[in-house]
Structure 1
Amino acid sequence: MVTMDITGNTVFIPGATSGIGLGLALRLHAAGNTVIIGGRRAELLESIAAEHPGIHTVVIDTTDPSSIASAASSVLASHPSLNVLVAMAGIMLPENLRDPAFLEVAERTVVTNLLGPIRLVAAFEPALERQPSAAIITVTSGLAYVPLPATPTYSATKAAIHSFSDAMRVQLADTSVQVIELAPPATQTTLMNLDQNPHALPLDDFLDEVMQLLASQPDAEQILVERVKNQRFAEAEGRYASVLAAQSGRAN
């Protein structure tokens, strides 16, 4: 099986203008990879590129199929050696299922978190398969395994991406494309104001552990930091109900 090296790759990370995406982009660049980040706001991308020389950028809206197609064409033309896609696209908003307004949030979450990564895979997989060694890294969440009741659609989309990743890995098993699922726990980013939550994992600590795991486990199917294992293995270890109850308490 072809496995991912931690350096010498050409990596595209859409949705990488802040938080985990930007942090991962900077760590991968520092490790000796060519990194292209994507986002909707050209001025923000320009600012990041100016602050971090060597980071390449492209405008992309992962909710828009035509924008994905345009960005894919641009990235593959300028970086024909592209061999790693981090299919990262996500919004996380609270929903009250008794409020009819929740439906708009739910639909937008599905388009962004589920259709976005699937469309990215569709746009880039053929080119990745032509590389001698390639990887698709999907980004799920500990909430893919035990939902946060306050964010039901977010949790459901992450569970769907986990399932999609497993199925994609089987379908691509005889190709050069490795499929890796990255499942973060609650991490201190602006998502749901987690940067203000002292119980969330500090972003730098998360990134330290992710880079160590990528380096030490090149054939990994999942990248699981220690903090996420409580959720990841809750059902297998008979703790699902208690973890769900704890997450229900945090949701109130």
Structure 2
Amino acid sequence: MNISGNTIFIPGATSGIGLALALELRAKGNTIIVGGRRADLLDKIAAEHPGIDAIKIDTTDPASIDSAAKEVLAKHPDLNVLVTMAGIMRIEDWHQPESFLTSAETTVTTNVLGPIRLIAAFIEHLRAQPDATIVTVSSGLAFAPLKVTPSYNASKAAIHMLSESLRLQLADTTVKVVELEPPAVRTSLLPGQENSEFAMPLDEFVAEVVALLEAQPDAKEIQVERVKFLRYGEARGDYDQVVATLNASDPHGR
């Protein structure tokens, strides 16, 4: 992915990593469209950052995805990058089904079906572009589980394998597939995570991500240094130690 000259749609960019990444990519010379469910946040972003387009989208709703895709492509026919950022993370207790089932279903709908439906809505358009990129967003927890977030871990592992598979299938097209693999970052993904000493500061994370994109335009996976402890535990042969350390040190690993 080239670092500049793109038209980029980022559903799930009204806060956190999505918004911070949108602003950094805009500063690098890209046209940015952010998407989200809350009209008030979209209006605020558009007012505070002239030139950024903001489109309402609920990635859990297939009709909303289809409608937003039509609006994005009508306004921005040169769109060539889709970042499937939207996602949720829930703490779950799997001792009793009534305590986790609704959360698990919502997590899978948002984190797995959402990206699948987004890609389906844009893939024909992206394939027609001379140079296009799909950026998926998995997690370090795709490779080492946090015990209190089973559905989130599983959903991000699914995104990792989906990314691997799509990259193979789309190798005969102009569409690249890049997987972004965040560690814990100081956002509101979980309660209290914004101030967690175990989470990476948001500005540091996004700065490192953009630097990696700039330095490695052909990268398949974007991994800040901090996520490699989780990402490569199995390859290093210390997976059990990684899992134990993760669940002993994380404030939510109780």
Q: Which moved more, 1:91-100 or 1:60-69?
A: 91-100
CA contact (8 A) 1:90 1:113 kept: yes
SS in structure 2 at match of 1:70: helix
Q: Which residue is 1:178 aligned to?
A: 176
Secondary structure of the 2:119 match is helix
Within the alignment, does 1:15 sit opposite 2:12 as a pair?
yes
Offset from partner CA, 1:128-173 (integer Å, 9 cap, x none): 0100000000000000000111100000000000000000000000
Q: 1:64 aligns with which of 55, 61, 86?
A: 61
Whole-Å separation in 2 of the counterparts to 1:88 and 1:126: 20
Counterpart of 1:124? Answer: 122
- What SS does the aligned partner of 1:179 have? strand
Q: Partner of 2:150 in structure 1?
A: 152
Tell me the TM-score normalized by structure 1: 0.97
Q: Secondary structure at the match of 1:173?
A: helix
Cα distance in structure 1, aligned partners of 2:83 and 2:46? 19
How much has 1:196 moved relative to structure 2? Answer: 1.5
1:55 aligned to 2:52? yes
Kindly report which structure 2 residues correspond to 1:63-212, keeping only aligned pairs within 5 A, or say none: 63-99=60-96, 100-192=98-190, 193-212=192-211
- Distance in 1 (alpha carbons) for counterparts of 2:101 and 2:227: 29
Separation of aligned partners in 1, 2:99 and 2:140 = 26
Name whichever of 140-149 and 98-107 sits farther off. Answer: 98-107
Does structure 1 residue 25 correspond to structure 2 residue 18?
Answer: no
1:248 CA drift (Å): 2.4
- Contact kept, 8 Å, 1:149 with 1:247, in 2: the verdict is no
Structure 2 gaps, min length 5: none
Q: TM-score, normalised by structure 2?
A: 0.97
**Does structure 2 retain, via aligned residues, the 8 Å contact 1:95–1:151?**
yes
Q: Structure 1 CA distance, aligned partners of 2:245 and 2:118?
A: 34
**Deviations, residues 168-227 of structure 1 (Å, cap 9, x unaligned):** 000000100000000000111111121110121100100111010000000000000000
4+ residue runs over 6 A deviation: none
Shift in Å at residue 52 of structure 1? 1.1
Give the residue type in structure 2 aligned to 1:194: Q
